[in-house]
Amino acid sequence: MDQRIAPNQAAHRYCSPESALDVRTRDRLGQADVVWLAGSAAQATQQPDLSCVIAGVRLRNPFVLASGILGNDAALLERCGEAGAGAVTSKSCGPTPRRGHPNPTVLDWGPGLLNAVGLPNPGARAQAEMLRSARVRLQPLGSVLVASIFADTVANFAEVAGIICEAGPDLLELNISCPNVAHEFGQPFAASATDAAAVTEAVKRVATCPVIVKLAPNVPDIGQIARAVEAGGADAICAVNTMPGMAIDVFSGRPILANRSGGISGPPLKAIAVRAVYEITAAVDLPVIGTGGVTCGLDAAEMIMAGATAVGLGTAVYYRGTEVFGQVEAELREFMVGQGYRNLAEMRGIAHE
């Protein structure tokens, strides 16, 4: 039988009450009238199974540290593994070392973050060393390592992929969607089905592990881009990267970020990301890591109901610390028990029905 739960009660139950984030989440959900939650508490007889499989790689739970959130350090990735992350994604790395953009690079504008960090990284060779160390630290914890890469050309993408695969990551993620380097690199590869497929094909020729392609939210038809990368050989999709945005200091009349514009992340991105995941999973059969604005267990359930196989956490780590992984897992588990879901497959994609 269906249960009707007032959204503010639901958020209160599935988010720890003491964090500032939870106040935001309650306020946010409280703006709606009611939400309908399927199932019955009576159906729950045992702990739900939260494991999932991305391109043949098993994750103990669906929560994945999103790329770029914690810098580029093996110890920080390890901390997320210790906190319970199913997988951790390294900061995107390119062919050669980059300093990134000057400060200010990140702004907490209230509802979410705006960033234009500019892809600082030590270059592919040094990154491969860091990833080797991260892999050794993460393996005993049962956390999967995803290595993220970017490049300015298709050929350089393939070159970086070859170097990074030598470090033995479980999965390789192609960041073809960073919105903050357009003045250097031109429009992101993710803006064009042809370009997105070309990068995917070139990397697939050299990659020794499954390849995830990370898409941009600001395209007219994300299903078309998803079909193109599927045709190019992608094993999975991550959706989405940040959404371009800008903030202006009205007293100086100047944009706040040194790069002028940046990428919006956190709660304002969630509805955009949920829709993107829904459109992609309607268009292709690939597993999707639903990323964008997920900050609590209910958000994760929503992403999975849109069709996601796993769920990325980025800005939520800024709000709730690395402990967010264990907390969100507990919140999702409690929701599933309450609603009678025994595993993620029973929830996955039900919004399509």
DSSP 352: G
Q: Which is nearer to ligand FMN, 173 or 338 (CB)?
A: 173
Q: Is 54 helix (H, G, I), strand (E, B) or coil?
A: strand
Q: Whats the size of the chain, residue-wise?
A: 353
Among 178, 209, 238, 296, the one annotated catalytic: 178
86 touches 120 (CB < 8 A) = no
Binding residue for ligand FMN, selected from 181, 199, 269, 276, defined by CB under 6 A: 269
Binding residue for ligand FMN, selected from 28, 91, 135, 333, defined by CB under 6 A: 91
CA 218 to CA 229: how far, in whole Å?
Answer: 17
Q: Of the ranges 6-14, 203-211, 291-299, 332-340, which one interacts with ligand FMN (CB under 6 A)?
A: 291-299
| Residue 297 in the binding site for ligand FMN (CB under 6 A) | no
> What are the DSSP E strand ranges found in the chain?
3-5, 35-37, 52-54, 57-59, 63-65, 87-89, 106-108, 113-115, 144-149, 171-175, 211-215, 236-239, 243-246, 248-249, 254-255, 261-265, 288-291, 310-313
| Residue 292 in the binding site for ligand FMN (CB under 6 A) | yes
| Residue 294 in the binding site for ligand FMN (CB under 6 A) | yes
CA 163 to CA 128: how far, in whole Å?
Answer: 7
Name the token pair of 319. 């709000």
Binding residue for ligand FMN, selected from 61, 200, 265, 281, defined by CB under 6 A: 265
Catalytic site residue 165?
no
Q: Which residues within the stretch 145-174 sit at the binding site for ligand FMN (CB under 6 A)?
A: 148
Binding residue for ligand FMN, selected from 92, 143, 281, 339, defined by CB under 6 A: 92
Q: Whole-number minimum distance, CB 264 to ligand FMN, in Å?
A: 8
The owner of tokens 């780590």 is 317
Closest Cα to residue 290, out of 221, 272, 219, 6?
272
Q: Is 46 helix (H, G, I), strand (E, B) or coil?
A: coil
212 touches 237 (CB < 8 A) = yes
Q: Of the ranges 6-14, 22-30, 153-161, 312-320, which one interacts with ligand FMN (CB under 6 A)?
A: 312-320
| Residue 293 in the binding site for ligand FMN (CB under 6 A) | yes
Q: Whole-number minimum distance, CB 48 to ligand FMN, in Å?
A: 23
Q: Whole-number minimum distance, CB 95 to ligand FMN, in Å?
A: 15
Q: Which residues within the stretch 220-259 sit at the binding site for ligand FMN (CB under 6 A)?
A: 241-242
Binding residue for ligand FMN, selected from 94, 118, 255, 312, defined by CB under 6 A: 312
Binding interface with ligand FMN (CB under 6 A): 66-69, 91-92, 106, 113, 115, 117, 119, 148, 175, 214, 241-242, 265-266, 269, 291-294, 312-316
Active site residue ranges: 178
